[in-house]
Structure 1
Amino acid sequence: MIIPPNQFDQLLQQDEEAFIQRTMDAIREAHPTYRETDGMRRASVLAGFKRARRHGLAADQDLMAYVLLMYRINPNFDQHPQIAAMLGDPSLEAAERWDRIFGDDFDDAWFEASTWEFRDGSYWRDPDERSSPLSTEPVTDDDWAELVVGLKQAQGPGPYPPATPEQLAQAREDLARAMAESARRTPADWEARADEVAARLRDHGKPPAK
């Protein structure tokens, strides 16, 4: 059997499920403190693969690198004007476009793409579903609970073990209580709370009393 040269670059993709799992493992290894459920991580990987392929990328290492950049930089890193212009340049082959965005002249673009202000969390989702929120699966109570537990764990030193059933149950109760309390607050309550926070910030900036 003769294998075309480009097939050597896509051997891992011959077993799509194993390729997804390997990419998820790479994410866990690169970002051990990043808290998300396996379902969330899998959806993000699939969304990244689809967007990478739409840019013309096909090699195993390029698809995995694309997804890892979503985690390291921002999920919408490819929407930065300079990066997007290069990835969309029809005069170049996809592999060359991909290589060029890692050149020194893109350093500023990568920095800007990595900022919180640039971040758009909707790019974690399937690109065909981003503009249609009703088509996405609802986040379950367990998803929210695990995120709450992750935030609590992130306040202390690692390593961060998986959330226990007891922690998830407590997180669900805490979340339900917080949502109920929030629903009871009136606009006046929120305004008073905002004034309180603003006053604390002003006091924090004052020099200590002599």
Structure 2
Amino acid sequence: MRPRIQFVLGLCLVVSITCLAIFSAPGGELFIDMPSFLIVLVVTAGLTLATYPDTNPLTLFSTAATTPEQDLKLAEVAAGAARNAVFSGVLGYLIGAIQMLQDFSDLSSLGPCLAVTMLTVLYGYFAAYVLFKPLEGYFVARAARKGAQPEKISTIRDASTSTHLGVLLGVSFVLFVTVTVAFFSVGTEVETGRQGLELPKTLLQEQLGDRLPNHHGRQ
């Protein structure tokens, strides 16, 4: 099988099984949020353009590269785009979390808001590991077939390792913030419910105290 066909087939398999898992169950439309998508798209594209001003990112999806050096350059751009996609997902999550935490008056809406906020993280990691990381591997493999120097290939792969570490830190941070917010919201709901139960109890005791006969007075 030709490498290009294998690459496209692999992407189609991943995208199709992901869409099937999302939309085969009720509530699949919850995974679609245009502001989250635009944050990931625009921030990733902007950071990639700023980081690699001498390279057109659109060449990632073309066959213009003819030398091993050009392939390695495209692999470097793809690796950078993957890092930028992860960052854009975490950035969108923080923006949504700040907006969400400004108002705790309605705790019932906290869960849905948190779910929408995490969509930017999902979009960012999906773009990084379903699109850009496979592109990086594709260009590295093509450069190796053209006789690229092993040292340069190792440099690209070392940079890819740092991307994995950044992804791990990003996931850990997002999970920490999510668990903290959920724990705080549950504690607030419990305290509010406890106060709501104590108030009727106090009123009931006062009413019963007024109706009960005064035995000490009769004696």
> TM-score normalised by the shorter chain: which range applies?
under 0.3
Q: Which TM-score applies when normalising by structure 2?
A: 0.25
The higher relative CO (CA closer than 8 Å, separation ≥ 6) is in 2
